[in-house]
Structure 1
Amino acid sequence: MIAVVSDTHSETGHELAGRTRDAVEAAEVVLHAGDFTTEAALDAFHDAADRLHAVHGNADTPAVRDRLPDARTVELAGVRVAMTHTERGGDTGLAMFGRQRGADLVISGHTHRPRVADAGDVVLLNPGTHAEPRGHPVTHAELEPTDDGLRGKIKRQDGTVVEAFGVEGRT
């Protein structure tokens, strides 16, 4: 399983709880779309996750920014995943960001609002926030490999499914 989180906004730790904590601890890979805020939060994620791929966000300290890129691309289960915290231009900007990287899936954060959008040749995923909802539900995403890509679910902290979706790989 692949756990996807964003927008931790913590001074002290990973702020994981409930199903989100279970998912991160059980995941083979954890993807974080930025805004840890401090090195303590980033280090706590490294301790909780077997394998962490992350980008920095706009609220991260200079020390976190020095340790993480602002964008990254990884291959998971035949799906090319491009990650960034935010991109100017909303969905259009995110889709262009993904296309420039040959991605099937773009993961972003920043809005704290969980959502999935189909942009034609790329799927846009914002897992929401697991720690600072700002009027939105507390959420994360879980991805499972399939024969032709990934099957995903955005889940609340109690495990309730908010939205299910799929991403086909190009390989």
Structure 2
Amino acid sequence: MRLLLTSDTHLPLRAKRLPDQLLAELQRADVVLHAGDWVDEATLDLLESRSRRLIGVYGNNDGPGLRARLPEVARADLGGLRFGVVHETGPAQGREARCAARFPDLDVLVYGHSHIPWDTTAPGGLRLLNPGSPTDRRRQPHCTYLTATVDDGALTEVTLHRLPPR
């Protein structure tokens, strides 16, 4: 099962549209996970129409329309792994322990908010993944997103994709 992980698209505030490379990944993904800060409902509509399966949450910059359509936390069993998606996890210091305590029933937690790509494993085995942002790199050298594969109950081929400058 191929996964596409993204977050913090902030359209149309940070960019006018999603990058072509990310849109091309939609066609290859079995599941798309978006960790919030869509900003506009048109981006949600686009991903819903082009994805086989979309799992998304709202972020701190998402208004009432998106909050009415999306949960704050989403959970899904994907290929035998228990996934969670949330926008904010708090400060980087102590994140692993804090998330492991908050989500003891998960194998993988996808989150956003910081725009900083992150891949770590908490004590106890919770994998934490932040795909960064495909449209707003902030202080990072590149805009980014992640792809991954779930195979026989294991998360494999987790790849950070750097997008060309816009």
TM-score by length of 1: 0.83
List per-residue Cα deviations over 1:75-95 (Å, max 9, x = no partner): 111110111000235413322
Amino acid at match of 1:48: R
Q: 1:21 to 1:106 in 2, by over 3 A?
A: same
| Structure 1: 5+ residue stretches without partners | 159-171
Q: Which residue of the partner structure matches residue 103 of structure 2?
A: 98
Q: Distance in 2 between matches of 1:157 and 1:89?
A: 26
Alignment of 1:1-171 (within 5 A): 1-11=2-12, 15-88=17-90, 90=92, 91=95, 92-99=97-104, 102-120=105-123, 121-136=125-140, 137-151=142-156, 152-157=158-163
Question: What number of residue pairs does the alignment pair up?
Answer: 156
Out of 143-152 and 102-111, give the one that drifted further: 143-152
Amino acid at match of 1:140: Y
- The superposition leaves residues 52-91 of structure 1 with CA deviations (integer Å, 9 ceiling, x where unpaired) of 1100000001110111000011111111011100023541
Once residues 80 and 34 of structure 1 are traced to their aligned partners in structure 2, the CA distance between those partners, rounded to angstroms, is: 19
Moved over 4 A (4+): none
Native 8 Å contact 1:29 1:52 kept in 2: yes
8 Å CA contact 1:95, 1:124 repeated in 2: no
How far the C-alpha of 1:24 sits from its partner, in A, is 1.9
Report which stretch shifted further, 105-114 or 3-12: 3-12
With over 3 angstroms needed to count, the CA separation of the structure-2 counterparts of 1:75 and 1:135, relative to structure 1, is same
Read off the aligned partner of 2:159 and give its amino acid letter: K
TM-score under structure 2 length normalisation: 0.86
Distance (Å, rounded) in 1 between the aligned partners of 2:145 and 2:29: 12
Residue type at the aligned position of 2:57: V
For structure 2, the residue ranges without an aligned partner over 5 or more in a row are none
Cα distance, 1:66–1:106 mapped onto 2, change above 3 Å = same
Alignment check: 8 A CA contact 1:6 1:32 kept: yes
Partner of 1:168: none
SS of the residue 1:130 aligns to? coil
SS at match of 2:47: helix
- My pick for the range that moved more, 118-127 or 80-89, is 80-89
Two-structure CA RMSD over aligned residues (Å): 1.9
